[in-house]
Structures are given as structure tokens and as C-alpha cells.
Chains A and B, each alone.
Chain A
Amino acid sequence: MDELFPSELKARLSQIGDADIVVGIPSYNNARTIGHVVVIVNSDGGSKDKTQDVVMRAEGGADDLLLVSHPVHNSYRISTPYHGIPGKGSAFRTIFAVAAKLNAKACVVVDSDLRSITPGWVELLAKPVLEQDYDYIAPYYQRHKYDGTITNGIIYPMTRTLYGKSVRQPIGGEFGFSGNLAKRYLEKDVWDTDVARFGIDIWMTVTAIAEGFRVGQAYLGAKIHDAKDPGADLTSMFRQVVGSFFSLMGSYENVWKKVSAYEAIPMFGFPFEVGVEPLTVNTDRMIHAAQQGVADLREIYSSFLSPQVLVELTNFVHRNGQGFHMPDQLWVRMIYEAATAFRYRLLDREHLLQSLVPLYLGRTASFVLEVTESNATQVEERIERLGQVFEAEKPYLTQQWDAIGKEKFHAQPV
């Protein structure tokens, strides 16, 4: 573990000794927003915009750095570069190691591009861990209906379906977790994979659920952040998140196959109505991307999608405007077939994930067109209906998974 620490950090941690709470912030070129965030450990990816300087100069005396239940008098501020593959996951790894080294009871991580964070967020994420023996607290916030489309369209309904816990923001970016869980994360050998990048959020959530840690969620209000992650484009982000999720399906096959229903998880904090920033989405461009994808990538799709799904996809994709509607069942089956193909390497995994991007954009355009006139409650209902389709189609996933596994390895399903 010590090899993760630069010598300066090692000395600083020895000086600190033990800590109750560690708050970590992964950053890369976030000088504009990081001053909004309470800082204890800033794990930086080599920012060139003086992010680390801003962290060290951030306003707020030591007493109001943490507002857990009462002012904290012994608080420390560390800003350190991390080692490993450049990415959020590598930054988190350093934070986990710091939490483990300091024998922290609770650790909180928050994104550095947040503009809506308040000191109360740290309390909401840390308190259930400190006082009620929870191991993992995911965020729950209100977002614009067009925001978080990978979460709403794939990750949330699939996590719920496969692992049986209704974590609404499994890749939210802000989490509270116990020192024990941080140590468990460090034991895993995943730091050369996409988990070291954007795959970290879903990996943390799924690992916590699948390995039986106590999971809850905390209502944080609105999530307002920089519109786009610096240096991140959709294809790589999608590839890392969805690839990590598919990869976890292989690791926890014996867990998700046994799950037959999902359950709600405890919610901390008081839900209240908040305003969210309006967002604009160019659906025409997304539709065009989907149409081009289906036209140009047919050969790739035919290597992992079933003929029936391929026919349905071809039939709907040529419609334009309001007529562009991707049925939920089609979307769910495509994702399930892709997950199976990923597991059994029916084609190169990178290619598979990249080929899903046009389909995802088509699905997002279809969703946006459908909810244009809907309010937040109606949108939640719509996402709930999608979740039900994911659940209804789970036998299809299991059947595909087992059939292809059997065919590929002549092996009995696990």
C-alpha cells in the first residue's frame, strides 16, 4: 500500500496518525470548481491549471471544513498526485489507501466538478457509516430529465435487476463508505483495467452490493456540475462504464443469477424539491448517429445480436422526428445480448463496446423525444417502466448467457 504514496504524503500520514473521516476528491483540471468543495485529501491527476494550488488556498478555516455533527478541530488538508493509469479510479485508489493507512472509520469521496455541493453532503454520506454501521452510501439527487442518460438507460435498471438493490445513482460520483470497505477495495486487482478510469463508480457500487456490504443512499438535493468532464469523450466514458459493468457480470455471475427480485434500500436525509439547470439536447444528431451506426456497423452487429433483434433494429431506426421510438424490449435485449457477447468474447471487447455507442445515442434520442413534455415525476415513472422491462427480460439474459456459454465451452452453466 505504501508504494502508492509519494514520500511527502507518507511523512504527512505518519504525522497525522489515525483519522475518523477521510474526504477524498479526485481531480484533473478542476481549478474552476474545486474551491466549492470541502477538501481533506485531493488526489490529483497532474492538473496543469493549478488545481492543487486552489485546493490548498480554498476558503474556510479548519473549523468549518467538516460539518458532520459538530465542528471538527483536528482536520488536515492534503493535496497529492496519484500513481497509476491516469483516471478517476487511480485517484480513488490513493484515497482508499489513505483511508486504510489512517484507519479511517468512514471515507467520503466527492467529484471535483460540483457546483451544488454543501457541507451537509459530507454529513449525509458519512453519518450512516459512522453511526449506523452502513458500509456504503450512494448519493440520491435530483437531476434534469436529460441528465445522466447512461445511469437512467442502462446502469440503474440493470444494477437493480441483477443485484437486487435499488440504488438510484449507482455511478453518481459521490459516495460514503466504511474503512473496511476501503480495505476490501484495495485488495482487488483491478487497477490496470477501466476501473482505474470512469469504471470506478459502478465497480464500487456493484462490489459493495455483491459482496454483501450494508448499502444505503442519501438524499443530497440537486446535482449541478460542469457540463462535461474535462478530457472525457462519450465513447471512452461509455466504454469504461459499460465495460466495467459487463466485466462485473462475469465476476459476480453466481450472485446475480440467484437474484429474483429487487428491494428498496434505506434512504437518509429529507427529500425536498429543488430546481435543476435546464439542459439542451440535439436529438437530430443522435438519431443520425444511430442511423449511421446501423447502416455502417451491420456486420459487427450481426456477430453478436440475434437475427430477430437485428431485424427489429433495422425496422425502427429509419424513422425520423417524433416517429423515432426505440421499444424498451428491443433496447433491453440488445444490452443483454451485448453483455453475453462481452462475457464470451464473441468479438473484440473494445469493438463491441464502441459499437454500442450509436445504439445508446438512438435510445437516448428516443427517450428524450418521449419525455419532452414530461415532468420529473413522469420521467421517474418512465424510468421505472424501463426497469420493469429489464426485470421481465432477465430470463432472456440467463437463457442467452447459458446457451452461448454452453456452446462456447461445452460447459454446464454456473
Chain B
Amino acid sequence: MRSLFDRMLVDPFHRLADQSAHVVPILIMVMVTLLVGGFLAFVTRVLTYRLLQLAQFDRLVQRTGFSSMIERTGVFRSPTDMGARFMQALVWLFTMLFALSAADTPASAELVRRFVDYIPNLIAAGLVLLLGVAVSRMISRSALLAAVNAQWPAARLIAGGIRVLVMTLAIVIALEQLHIGSLPLLVAFAIVFAGIVFALAIAFGLGARDMARQWLEAKVRTSVAEEEVFRHL
């Protein structure tokens, strides 16, 4: 008959030893994976930084106008820094997935599966956001130039408003792709957008009645204003 001592101390110790024999190698493998992955991520960041520097990535981005936006966030030192950190994060992400796979538990396997299934949504959302940034920038710049050339006093406000509107739309679509509160967001956006249009219509039709009349008159008038009676060509 086994003694009380065996049952109270030796058996649990054996069970712990058995479990440890199963878990410790996994833990060691996860740790090693993370360490190697971290190192690889760091190396990737350094290499990407050097490569982008060589390709004069900062100057390239500066021309597109994104540079000031990146610097304004205060998170990254420069577009090159952002690119390098993005690559580092990507390597980190894959390392984590690899480590989770290595753990080989039902929970981690399920997590990896769900994440892999989610990747297309992440890519779609990222693309939508990128497209949103580019389109909002293009449209707002066009609006700014048109408004300045028409000598509207609130040109920058109009351009800024358009940019916010297009970006908001892009964010709503991106969030929908990520299945994050899609319906409430869509409804909120529709309400805000409709509200803005309605408010502008009222403001223009009632508040700026004279301006609206003058504008329409100018559109249909055939005679030339006195100050415009010279030809530029």
C-alpha cells in the first residue's frame, strides 16, 4: 500500500514531471522561435531601412505629400523609418503565428486558423484605406484648386471637408471589411452625411439666398462682366 507521503508528494511531482516533459520543450521551442523571430525582425528592419535610404524613399514620399502626414503622426521619424518598422512588424506577426503553431494546442491552433482566415479581410481593409488616402487627397486637392481659382474665401475649409468625408467613407468600408461594428458605423455615417448635405442645402438656400441667386445668374448670363473685357491669349 502506498504511503500517504507518496500520494501527497511523490505522485503530484511525477505528474508535474510528466506534464513538464511535454510542455517544456514546447515552451522552449516557442521561446526560441520568438527570440530568432525577434532577431530576424530586427535585422529585417535594419536592412529595409538601409535599402529604402539607398532608394531615396524619403524624397520620393516627400513628392507625394505623404511625408508631412507621416511626420505629423509623431510615431515615425521619417517615411523610411515607417517602412522599416512596417517590415519589422510583418516579420513579428509571422513569428507569432509560427510560435503559436509550434505550441500545438487546440486553442493556439484555433487562433492561428482564425487569423489566417482573417488575412484576406485585413488585406482588403488595408487596400481600401490606401485607396481612400489617395482618392481623398486627389479629390480634395482638385477641390482646393477649383475653389482658389474661383476665389472662394473658404477654399481650404472646403478641401479639408471633402478630404474628411472621403476618408470617413473609406474607414467605414474598411471597418466593414474587418467586421467591426459595420452596421452601426454605416448608419452613423449615413446620418452624418445626410445631415451635412441637408444643413448645407438649407444654409445655401436660405442663409445665402442672395449668393445662390447671383451664382445662378452668373451661370446663365451671356454678357461679360466689365472687369473681364480682355483676352488672355
Contacts and interface: CB of A to CB of B under 8 A. Distances in A.
B22 interface: no
Interface in A281-333: 281-282, 285, 288-289, 292-293, 296-297, 299-300, 303
A297 B144 contact: yes
B53 interface: no
Contact of A289 (B63, B151, B227): B151
B149 A281 contact: no
B224 interface: yes
Given A351-B141, A351-B142, A292 B229 contact: no
A69 interface: no
A82 interface: no
A238 B145 CA distance: 14
Contact of B148 (A173, A241, A280, A292): A292
B132 to A, nearest CB: 18
Contacts of A407: 59
A348 B230 contact: no
A327 to B, nearest CB: 21
A237 B232 contact: yes
A225 B229 CA distance: 11
B138 A348 contact: yes
Contacts of B146: 354
B30 to A, nearest CB: 46
Q: Is the interface of B mostly helix, strand, loop or mixed?
A: helix
A227 B224 contact: yes
A11 interface: no
Contacts of A285: 151, 227
A225 B231 CA distance: 9
B145 A228 contact: no
A280 B229 contact: yes
A346 B224 contact: no
B64 to A, nearest CB: 8
Given A280-B227, A303-B63, A241 B233 contact: yes
B233 A151 contact: yes
A75 interface: no
Interface stretch (A36-44, A142-150, A254-262, A376-384): A142-150
A150 B145 CA distance: 20
Nearest to A171: B233
B232 A281 contact: no
Nearest to A299: B65
A305 to B, nearest CB: 13
Contacts of A171: 233
Contact of A297 (B142, B148, B230, B231): B148
A347 interface: yes
B149 A357 contact: yes
Interface residues of A, number: 45
Given A347-B63, A354-B145, A296 B156 contact: yes
A201 B151 CA distance: 29
Contacts of A229: 231, 233
B227 A228 contact: no
Contacts of A279: 229-230
B18 interface: no
Contact of B149 (A173, A228, A346, A354): A354
A198 interface: yes
B141 A300 contact: yes
Interface in B59-114: 59, 63, 65, 68
Nearest to A144: B230
B227 A355 contact: no
Nearest to A353: B145
A203 to B, nearest CB: 13
Contacts of B153: 292
Contacts of B149: 234-235, 289, 354, 357-358
Interface in B101-156: 138, 141-142, 144-146, 148-149, 151, 153, 155-156
Interface in A346-377: 346-348, 350-351, 354-355, 357-358, 364
A147 B231 contact: yes
Given A227-B224, A303-B65, A347-B63, A355 B233 contact: no
Contact of A281 (B63, B145, B151, B227): B227
Nearest to A228: B224
A360 to B, nearest CB: 8
A293 B144 CA distance: 10
B226 interface: yes
Contacts of B65: 299, 303
Contacts of A146: 230
Contacts of A147: 230-231
Of A292, A346, A351, A355, the most chain B CB neighbours within 10 A belong to: A292
Contacts of A346: 63
Contacts of B217: none
Given A148-B233, A348-B138, A296 B155 contact: yes
Nearest to B229: A227
A148 B231 CA distance: 6
Contact of A237 (B141, B226, B233): B233
Contacts of A347: 63
Query: Of residues B148, B151, B228, which shows the largest number of chain A Cβ atoms within 10 Å of its Cβ?
Result: B148
B61 to A, nearest CB: 12
The 4 closest A-B pairs by CB, nearest first: A282-B227, A227-B229, A354-B145, A279-B230
Given A346-B63, A357-B149, 18 more contacts: A147-B230, A201-B233, A227-B228, A228-B224, A228-B231, A229-B231, A238-B232, A282-B227, A289-B148, A292-B148, A296-B144, A296-B156, A297-B144, A299-B65, A347-B63, A348-B141, A351-B141, A358-B149
14 contacts: A148-B232, A227-B231, A235-B149, A279-B229, A282-B227, A285-B227, A289-B149, A292-B151, A300-B141, A300-B144, A300-B145, A348-B138, A354-B146, A358-B149
